[in-house]
Chains A and B, each alone.
Chain A
Amino acid sequence: MNLSLPESACARRILAGTVIVLGAVLIFIAPETWPGMALLALGVLVELIGMWLAHHRRSHLKQFHDSP
């Protein structure tokens, strides 16, 4: 799968914020049952993805030719 992130910093911030909010909602709505534990874990995972997106700073460019 070829998953490409938005190139603009603004779009990436919006995406990261959306994912973080989604993770928070999942954690919030998870009921105190075993299926709820799975939802809670999913929420934590989504939060981590959101945080990674927020801090991922064009690292893919590090492999490209230097270009002044």
Chain B
Amino acid sequence: MDEVIGVSQRHPAKYWHVLGDGRIQCDVCPRDCKLHEGQRGACFVRGRVDNRMVLTTYGRSSGFCIDPIEKKPLNHFFPGSSVFSFGTAGCNLACKFCQNWDISKSREMDRLMDSASPKAIAAAARAHDSLSVAFTYNDPVVFFEYALDTADACHQRGLMTVAVTAGYVHEAPRREFFAKMDAANIDLKSFSDDFYVKLCGGHLQPVLDTLSYVHHETKCWLEVTTLLIPGHNDSDQELGALTRWLAQELGPEVPLHLSAFHPDWKMTELPPTPSATLGRARRIALDAGLHYVYTGNIHDPEGGTTYCPSCRHATIVRDWYDIHHYDLTPQGCCPQCGSSIAGHFGTLAKPFGRHCLPVHLGLDA
């Protein structure tokens, strides 16, 4: 039986409709949860109360941190800047390899929660000199209304907004969501529908649709991440197909992050991704024509460096989230050949570094 939704957890939710049999269907993501009174959706945080959909996590967070922007990961969106980051609880996918399961699978909301209004989050981000606010840790699609109100508050204060998402969202909320995001990192977990069905409880095509939509029809800066899981999505064939699709459908300038998996949640029997696998995957992606391919969650200065696609000059040298060398003009051009590097760049004063600073906003902020 579903946990009762408390009075304080009933923020009106968008995107739902009543079905002929009396149930109501959530239209935020392709899971299309159909709910009786009192039930929660698969994400656990959207539910039905008094014949309408509510969001139970509005104004509550699993915690706030100031992170380097490279941790999202975004390597071409104001490198070296800090991003005020937060998430809530719940997720609309059910990945067996979830790297964030203590948040995404949380059923103990009150134990996890910090509270903060959208305006308080924007004010705190501004007070901590962050350039942007990220909706991350769990998928912001499930706290859609909270994320968008916070995005509005951030833009009013001159802050930018960043989404870290799996892109598993329906067309109408997708349009509204990404219209308010300045940058996004979207997880492409595999290039196999079978993988999405068996390991994530979802499907591939809606994610591909989101990637195409964000890149071609919005001003939101896009980077893509694929977590390489040994034996599941790291074959030459699959990586070739995935990277060719990215190069052909999105073009060569969308950065791709290939991240190392660590054993977690229900896939603890697998080994961590070997460095050699990440190197092989990076070579496949570069051969497919992608200009910016990075390895992540390992120490690999070669795989963390941004090279000019024209003259191969190392413009930004990174190791993990540390920037060791930065050699770009404020306009984002290579100083050697003048070619433009795709992305959004500014003047780098002092890189934020690899540390993550927890921030406590306090109750009723």
Task: Tell me whether A65 and B73 are in contact in the complex, defined as CB-CB below 8 angstroms, given that A7-B263, A7-B264, A7-B268 are known contacts.
Answer: yes
Main SS at interface, chain A? loop
Is the beta-carbon distance between A67 and B227 smaller than 8 angstroms?
yes
Q: Say if the beta carbon of A33 comes within 8 Å of chain B.
A: no
How many contacting A-B pairs (Cβ < 8 A)?
A: 60
Residues of chain B within 8 A (CB-CB) of A58 are 102
Question: Chain B residues with Cβ under 8 A from A8's Cβ?
Answer: 268
Q: Which residue of A lies closest to B99 (CB)?
A: A67
CB-defined contacts of B165 to chain A, threshold 8 Å: 68
Per the bound structure, the CA–CA distance linking A62 and B268 in Å amounts to: 18
Q: How far is the CB of B292 from chain A (nearest CB, A)?
A: 16
Residues of B within 8 A of A66 (CB): 67, 71-73, 85, 100, 134, 136-137, 164, 185
Cβ contact within 8 Å between A68 and B259 = no
Given A7-B268, A57-B102, decide whether A64 and B297 contact each other with a Cβ distance below 8 A: yes
Number of interface residues of A (CB under 8 A): 12
A67 to B97, CA, bound (A): 11
B255 at the interface (CB under 8 A from A): no
Whether a CB of chain B sits under 8 angstroms from the CB of A3 is no
* Interface residue tally on B, bucketed by range: 35 or more
**B317 within 8 Å of A (CB atoms):** no
* Contact call A68/B187, Cβ cutoff below 8 A: yes
A63 to B297, CA, bound (A): 8
Q: How far is the CA of A67 from the CA of B257 in the complex (A)?
A: 12
A21 to B18, CA, bound (A): 57
Interface string of B245-277 (1 = CB under 8 A from A): 000000000000101001110001000000000
Q: Is the CB of A64 within 8 A of B257?
A: no
Bound complex: CA A44 to CA B256 (Å): 49
Which residue on chain B has the smallest CB distance to residue A62? B356
CB-CB contacts below 8 Å: A37-68 with B: 57-58, 61-68
Tell whether A67 pairs with B225 under 8 Å between CB atoms, given A57-B102, A61-B99.
yes
Contact partner, B138, options A7, A65, A68, Cβ 8 Å: A68
Closest to A57 in B: B102
Q: Which residue of A lies closest to B85 (CB)?
A: A66
CA distance A10 to B43 in the complex (A): 24
- The proximity string for B residues 25-61 relative to A, scoring 1 for CB distances below 8 Å and 0 otherwise, is 0000000000000000000000000000000000000
> What are the 10 closest A-B residue pairs judged by CB atoms, nearest first?
A68-B139, A67-B99, A66-B136, A66-B164, A65-B259, A7-B268, A65-B73, A65-B296, A64-B297, A68-B166
Extra contacts, 13 of them, besides A63-B71, A65-B72 (Cβ < 8 A), are A7-B263, A7-B264, A58-B102, A62-B65, A63-B320, A63-B354, A65-B73, A66-B73, A66-B164, A67-B187, A68-B104, A68-B139, A68-B187
